[in-house]
Structure 1
Amino acid sequence: MAARLPRPHRFDRYVALAGLLGGLLLWGIGLGMRPAGEPTVLWAGRWPLLLPLAVMAGCELLRRTVPRTALLTATGAIVLDLMTQGNLVTVLMYTDVMYAAVLYGSPASARRIPRITGLLTVAGTIVPFAIWRVPETLLIGAAVGVVAFAPASTGLIVRNHREAAEAARLRAEQTALLAEMDRTQAVVAERARVARELHDMVANHLSAIAIHSTAALSLDDPETSKQALGVIRENSVEGLAEMRRLIGILRDDSGDSEPAAAPTLDGLGALADTARANGLDVTVDAEHGEKLPAPVELAAYRIVQESLTNALKHAGPGRVTVTLRQLDGLLGIAVTSPYGDRDGPRAPGSGAGLIGMRERAALLGGSFEAGPEDSARGKIWAVRATLPLVDVEGVTE
C-alpha cells in the first residue's frame, strides 16, 4: 500500500491559493515576463503559462510536509516556465519553495542547497560572460542569485536562528531542572540536619524522663519517687529550653537578633554532669586544641551527647568513659560503656541516633563505627569517630 502524503499545513494552503489566484490574474490581463518573439520563448501564447503555474502552486502545498520533493518538482516547473513567456508569480512561488526547502528540510539539505545555489549563481555569472562577452549576460547570474541563492541563504539564516533559540530554550529548561534538583537536595539536606539536631538535643532528656518515670512507677518508695520526679522536672526544663532554642533558630528570619550559639566542646563538662544526674558514672578525658573548626566542635559534641544518651538507655551498670584526642590534624572521639543487660528500666530506641552520628562524621569526611568490643574490664559498647580538622569550611551540621 502506497504511503499517504501528510496533510498540507493550513498556512501552506493559503499560500498556494494566493499564488494560484495571483498568477491567474496576471495571466488574465496578459502580463508576461518576456515578449512572445524572444528567442528563448519556445512555447508562445498564453496557455502554456498555466501548466508551470499550476505545478508551482501544488509545490507550495508540499513546501512544509515534503520540502525536498516540492523543491525538485518546483525546479522542473521553473525550467518549464523559462520556455514560455513566463509568469512573475510562478517565479515568486519558486523562491518561497526554495526558502521552505532549507528551512523545513533535513539538516543535510539545509547545508547543501545554499552551496549548490551559490555555485550556480557563480556559474551563471561567469560562463555566459565568458561565452558571449556581453555585459548584459551578467544579469543571468544576478537572476539566479535572486531566484535561488538569496531565498536559500535567507532560509538558512532563519533556520540557524530558530535552532539557536530552541537550544537556548532547552538550556533554560535544563538549568531550571538543575536548579529545582538543587533546591530539592538542599531541602532534603536541611530536613536531615534539623532531624539530627532535634534528635540529639531532645532524645537525651526524654530518655532520662522515660527511665526515671518508669522507676518511679515501679518502686513503691516515696523517696525514690521524689528523686525521680526531680530528675524528670530537670530534664523536662532543659529539654524544653533546647526545643525553644531550635524553634527560635528555625523561625527567626528577621535578622534582628543573633542566633543562639551552637554547643562546643567546652560544654562537655556540663553534659557529663547532666549524665551523672541521670544516673550514669561518667569520666571525661578530653585533650584538644583551643581553636577547633566550628563544624567539628558541634559534630563532636553531638556524637558524645548521643553516645551518652544511648548509654543511659541501654548500658549495663559500670563506668562510661569519654575520650577526645587531637593528633595529626584529626580529632578522635571514643565513648565506651558496659555492654549487657541493665538491671533497671530501659528506654526504647529507634536506631536514629547511630544514623545521625554516622551522617555527622561523613559530612566532615571522617569515619564512624559503633559496636561491641572485648576489653580488660569485660564486654563493652564502643563508639569511635575520627573527624578531620581541615577542609571543613562551608559544612553545616
Structure 2
Amino acid sequence: MSLPRPHRVDLLLSLSGLTCGLLLWSYGLYMTFGRVFEQRWAALVPLAVMASVETVRRTAPRTALFVGTLTIAGDQFTNGNLATVLMFTDLVYAAVVYGPPASARRIPYTTGLIAVTLTVVLLVWWQNAYALLVGMVTGMVSFLPAITGAVVRNHRDAAEAARLRAEQTALLAEMDRTQAVVAERARMARELHDVVANHLSAIAIHSTAALSLDEPATTHRALTVIRENSVAGLAEMRRLIGLLRDSAGEAVPGAVPSLDGLTELVGRARANGSAGGLGFVLEDLRRPDGAPLPAPVELAAYRIVQESLTNAVKHASPGTVTVRIGHRGGVLTVAVDSPYGKRPGPGAPGTGSGLIGMRERTELLGGAFRAAASGAVWQVRAELPADEEAGNP
C-alpha cells in the first residue's frame, strides 16, 4: 500500500527547512560543540532525515512524529542544527492538528510529562540551574508546539461543528418551508375543490338536462339553476382570490363559511337536486345556547356537508338526503345520509378527491372520518373535536 501523495505545502516546508539548515551548516553555525560525532558532515544526517519526514507531516503525522523523535534524539550526538530542531517542533504541531483524535489528546500530556520528568531528573543529577534551562528548552521544543496544535485543532473542530450546525439548520428550514408549501397547496386544493365542484357539478347536470329534454319549462328551470350556481361560484372564487392575495392588495377577503350558512347551503342543494328526484332535510341538533365553535371546526364541518351534498347531487338515486349536525361532549358530529343505488338521468363524473379532502380536513383537526355504503344508504360520518385547542391544529 503506497503512502498518499505529499501536500505541496509540506513539500515547501521540507525544502525551506533543508535550505536553511544547509545555509547554517555552511557558515559553521551549530547548536553545540564537543559531541560524540564531531565530524562536520554528521549534523547533515539528522537534517536530511528530518526534512524527508516533513513531506509526510500531513498525510502520515504519527509516522512522521515517530521518525522525527528518533532523529532529534540522534541529533543530540552531533553538533546539531537549528533547522533540525525547528522542523521537529513542526512535526509535533502537525501530529496534533492532523493526527487521529486519540493522538491529539495524548501528545500534549505526553510531551508535558516528558519535559517535567527530564527537568526533575537533571536537577537531581546535576544539582544546578542548568537543568532548569534544559527542561525549559525541552518544553519549548515539544510541549509548546503540542499545546499550540491542540488550540488550533479545537478551533478548527469548533468551526467545522458550527458549519455542520448551520447546514443542518438550513436543511431543517428548507424542509419546514417545503412542508409549509405542500400543506398550503393541499389546503388550497381542498378549498378550490369544495367551492368549484359544488357549483360546476350542478351546472353540468342541469345543462345536460336542458340539452337532453326539449321542454321550455325544464330548460328555463335548468338555466335558472345554472345562473344561480355560476354567480355563487364566482362569488366564492373572488373570496378565495382575496384570501390568496397580499394584504396590501385591493381585494378584501370575505367571511369564512360557518354552520350558520347550512340552511342556505341545503336550499341550494335542494334546487340543484330537484331534477334528479332528490329531497333534502337539515336536522341541526346543536344546543342553541352552546358556546361558539372554533372557526376552523365550523369551516371543516361546513365543507364536509357541502362536499357530501355535491356528491349526492352528482351520484345519489332519487330519495331524501338527510343532514344531521350535533354537538355533545366537546365533539361536533356531522352525519349525511343519501340514497345509494343506480341513478337515472344525467349525472356527473367523480374523481374521489372530495372524499380525500373531507378525510384530510377531519384528520387535520384530530377527528375521525368514515364514508361507506350501508345497504341502500351512503353514509358520511365525521367527528370533530370542538374545544378551543381544535382551532390550532
Segment drifting more, 248-257 vs 178-187? 248-257
> Corresponding residue for 2:176?
182
Instruction: String of CA shifts for 1:302-350, please: whole Å, max 9, x gaps.
Output: 0000000000001111111110111111011100111112222101111
Q: Secondary structure at the match of 2:47?
A: helix
Instruction: Using the aligned pairs only, state the percent identity.
Output: 63
CA distance in 2, matches of 1:124, 1:117: 10
Three-state SS of the structure 1 residue aligned to 2:390 is: coil
* Runs of 4+ residues deviating >4 angstroms: 255-258
Alignment of 1:220-231 (within 5 A): 220-231=214-225
Name the counterpart of 1:354: 355
Q: Confirm or deny that 1:120 pairs with 2:118.
A: no
Cross-structure match for 1:33: 31
Pairwise CA distance, 1:163: 1.1
Q: How does 1:9-28 map to 2 (within 5 A)?
A: 9-28=7-26
Please list, as runs of the form range in 1=range in 2, the aligned pairs for 1:16-95 lying within 5 A after superposition.
Answer: 16-34=14-32, 36-37=33-34, 41-95=35-89
Q: Does 1:197 align with 2:195?
A: no
Deviation, 1:255, is 6.8
- 1:90-110 CA distances to partner (integer Å, 9 max, x unpaired)? 100100011001111111111
For residues 321 and 290 of structure 1, the distance between their equivalents in structure 2, rounded to whole angstroms, comes to: 25
Q: 2:295 touches 2:391 (CA, 8 Å); kept in 1?
A: no
Does residue 164 (structure 1) correspond to residue 158 (structure 2)? The answer is: yes
Per the alignment, in what secondary structure is the counterpart of residue 377 of structure 2?
A: strand
Q: Distance in 1 between matches of 2:147 and 2:174?
A: 40
Is contact 2:297–2:391 with CA below 8 Å preserved after alignment? Answer: no
1:34-72, CA deviations, whole angstroms, 9 ceiling, x for partnerless residues?
A: 1x23xxx11113211100000010011110111111111
Separation in 1, partners of 2:173, 2:357: 27
What is the letter of the counterpart of residue 283 of structure 2?
Answer: D
Q: How much has 1:160 moved relative to structure 2? A: 1.3
- Structure 1 segment 331-342 matched on structure 2, within 5 A: 331-342=332-343
* TM-score for the superposition, normalised by structure 1: 0.94
Deviation, 1:282, is 1.2
Question: What are structure 1's unaligned runs of at least 5 residues?
Answer: none
Q: Is the 2:240–2:253 Cα contact (8 Å) retained in structure 1?
A: no
- Count of residues in Structure 1 that have an aligned counterpart in Structure 2: 385
Question: Aligned match of 2:282 in 281, 284, 306?
Answer: 284
Q: What does 1:182-261 align with in structure 2 at a 5 Å threshold?
A: 182-254=176-248, 258-261=252-255
Aligned equivalents of 1:343 and 1:297: distance in 2?
34
Cα deviation per residue 1:207-258 (whole Å; 9 max; x = unaligned)?
A: 1001101101111111111111111111111111111211121123417765
**245, 259, 265: which is aligned to 1:271?**
265
Distance in 1 between residues matched to 2:87 and 2:292, nearest whole Å: 82
Residue 49 of structure 2: SS of its match in structure 1? helix
Deviates more, 1:119-128 or 1:245-254: 245-254
| CA–CA separation in structure 1 for the residues paired with 2:112 and 2:285 | 83
Contact 2:242–2:252 (Cα < 8 Å) also in 1: no
**What SS does structure 1 have at the residue aligned with 2:62?**
helix
Q: Judging changes above 3 Å, is the alpha-carbon distance between structure 1 residues 31 and 7 closer, same or farther for their aligned structure 2 residues?
A: same
Post-superposition Cα deviations, 1:353-388, rounded to whole Å, max 9, x if no partner, equal: 0000000000001001011114xxxx2111010001
SS at match of 1:333: strand
Cα distance between partner residues in 1 of 2:307 and 2:103? 70
